[in-house]
Each structure stands twice: as C-alpha cells, then as structure tokens.
Amino acid sequence: MTRTASRPEDAERPPMPVHPHPTPPPRRAGPSPLAPIILGSLFAALILATMVVPAALTIREYQQARQWVPTDATVTDSYSTATRTGHTRRFPATCRVTYRYVAAGRTYTSDQIGFDDLSVDGNIQYRCLTFRDTPVPQPGDVIPIIYDPRRPDRAAFLPTFPRGARQDLMRGALILCFIGALTALIVRFNAD
C-alpha cells in the first residue's frame, strides 16, 4: 500500500530531519578574555618603565663603579638642614656636598654623594642617609671620591648601595606580582 500525498504541497516538501538533541541557543558574547590580559600587560609595562628599569639601571651603575678610579677632592660647598632620627642615629633631612677634583688633567665639580641622589621618599632624601655614619664634610675638607675613567665628569662621594633603588625594585616586583595575580583571577572568572 502506497501512501499518496493528500495535498500537492506536501509532496514537494522534503522530510524534516530528526535530531536526537536540540541545538543549544547561541551564547551571548561576553567580554573578551584578552581584555584583562592586555590591560594587565599595560599596567605591568608602566610599572616596569617607571620603577623597575630606573632602579635596575642605578644598581648597575653602582656595580660598574667598582672599576672607577679613587682620588681626593676638595669640598667647595656643603649644607644640611634639620635632622631626622633613623633607628639609633640622626641624619640630615636635606643635604648637599659640592666638591672639586682633578681627573685626566682637568678639573671637575660634582655634587653626587652616592647612587641615591635622584631617589626621594617623602621628606627624607636617601642621599642623606649616607650621613648617618659619616659627618657632612665642610668647605675646605679633603674627601676621598671615585670617578668614572671613561667619563671623568661622573664621580661619587660615599658610594654606598642605592637604598632607594632597592626599595623601588621591591615595590615594583610586588606590584607586578599583584597585577599578574589579579589578571589571572579576572581571566579565570571570565572563563567560567
């Protein structure tokens, strides 16, 4: 027995396929998981550019100073203002020592005390922390310094390890770790 179409339009229509599982509705497009990664990377680059790289360069200069040449210099000007108490000793809150020295047959003037000269934290200048153990020299005093033989205009008095650079490196590393962890959490949260 053959079945015939009762209506002509039924004969022209192909049979509908039967799927055992219906197709789920399309997911709504949410935020891209790349957005937090890109944002985290931009913040990390900003931290690297402003804290970590300058601190690393200062520490590198300190390490290269081992090759610098020692000589004597004469203090031409010095001052220190107010004192702060640090741990067990007092040190100046602001300070400046200008000295003159001869290198490679030429006379130079410098006011670089150590390698923290550009690091300032609040009201306490790291450069003045070096005077916790050494009194601020007075005009006319002869002091030992070191200078860069490749660039004799670069010199340092009391070339101690750059405290400010070390703290900037530690702060930068902590911030980078925080940014990395936060970015990972955001990506994981968005994936769920």
Phi-psi region of 69 (alpha: psi -120 to 50; beta: other; left: phi over 0): beta
Residue 159: predicted pLDDT: 75
Residue 69: predicted pLDDT: 94
Residue 123: predicted pLDDT: 41
Q: Angle at the Cα of 17 (from 13 to 19), degrees rounded to 5?
A: 160
For residue 3, give the amino acid letter: R
Cα separation, 162 vs 65, in Å, equals 12
Task: Tell me the CA distances in angstroms from 81 to 97, 133, 134, one per residue in order.
Answer: 12, 17, 16
Residue 160: predicted pLDDT: 74
Mean pLDDT in runs of 10 for the chain (192 residues)? 57 65 63 74 82 81 88 93 60 81 95 68 59 83 94 86 77 84 81 68
Residue 63: predicted pLDDT: 86
Helix/strand/coil percentages in the chain, nearest 5: 40, 25, 35
C-alpha 89: how far from its chain's center? 30
**Per-position DSSP letters for 54-67, written without gaps between them:** HHHHHHHHHHHGGG
Residue 122: predicted pLDDT: 40
